[in-house]
Structure 1
């Protein structure tokens, strides 16, 4: 996978967030029709609570945390079954499962075990500091692999862009190094500046770690993280990073969020992402002098 990422004619590696078997089936059909070989992984995440259940955050209430302990492993098992059925005879993507924030240590270990039992190949963990890596260190990776999520971590920190200067990029780079040392094989960068994305992606690849990014512009040889729901349902928020393929408002989901519409929208988004047209590069507010200082100091960050 890494060798194909860094070849001159490599297509952008893709991770696709989805939640249900019918969504995966629509994606698999699109992959088959487009003859794509760059969809490396799919992920069942706790954003299910925001998409399908209409919550406003992934910082879950006590009631939703209780629900997540059975609901999310069930969704992972549902998608696993569709992947293994492989109706469209595509290269099987790895299945990633997202640990929700707010669980106790005991509950975190339990849901990790349930994810593995449900067929997850990769477990994703949001980290803000080295101490957050404890599940990776305690569970190990005998039956699965680990992905770390850094930058904006929706369960943990402020919703803003990260990596605006050399100091902050250095902090993210050290966090990435700590994750690599603990055994992470994948990393997702969210809401980092494009220059941070470029520096961190190169660093990950140099250490044999597979990178994806979301809401972070482009980086050479980086993978992109897409979302089936966002490909179809309009977000209601202004951002160049939300897919231009979305066709319906949220209040039309019950009647219009169908296999056919999902297939139509995700097919368009897959074409755009594979052609490196989506996502666009952002207009950042970093000054020229700051940009140059980051580049000049990159060896030290």
Structure 2
């Protein structure tokens, strides 16, 4: 299977992946996972066809963490492109390297996703050529051999990419007059019901279990924000950017929550 045959390359296509997120990644018994699992060990719910045996009951069975994870298409890229469809079960000699490459690829694909969104923003037009250049450079990194990917200096590349995201963010949010910002980024359990947060920089904000009911969160930068169990009921997030479906899936909301057009209302809302 080649890249042109894969569905939207920057979102997960689980049917084209060898269950990498269910094997390569570790997790601990917590509110998000029902038991401990080490990296490189298949989840006990992973079936022989690489499908999850409890996919439709993940939240009920204590695996909320699985429902909010997003690989940004790294799974199918590693499975079908980097390792050319070599199944780690059939060719176990590829397994360890494949499992190590997967989280690195996930980071690169996440950057590509944000770069693609940046290029689509009208306010970021002055940066378009530079964004395109860095996008192509990042995409080239994803096409390297597995061993080469493991030698990449991801933190250094992320610094370069992040500088563009910061410039893009300022350009987009500058259209909001009288911007109001929450105090600090530690908003764990914060009471912000009905707050005017328009144009806020919420990059990396810890918003776990925050009360954001009815808050005006239009044109906010949400890159890296932790929205687990944040209550977005009735909140307005229209025009906000660097906000992923996984972040929305981790939050609470209702029919009155207004989301950017590229995101879907989660079923559990």
How high is the TM-score relative to the length of structure 1?
0.26
* Higher strand content, 1 or 2: 1
Higher relative contact order (CA 8 A, sep 6+): 1
Rg larger in structure: 2
Counting helix residues as a fraction of each chain, which structure ranks higher? 1
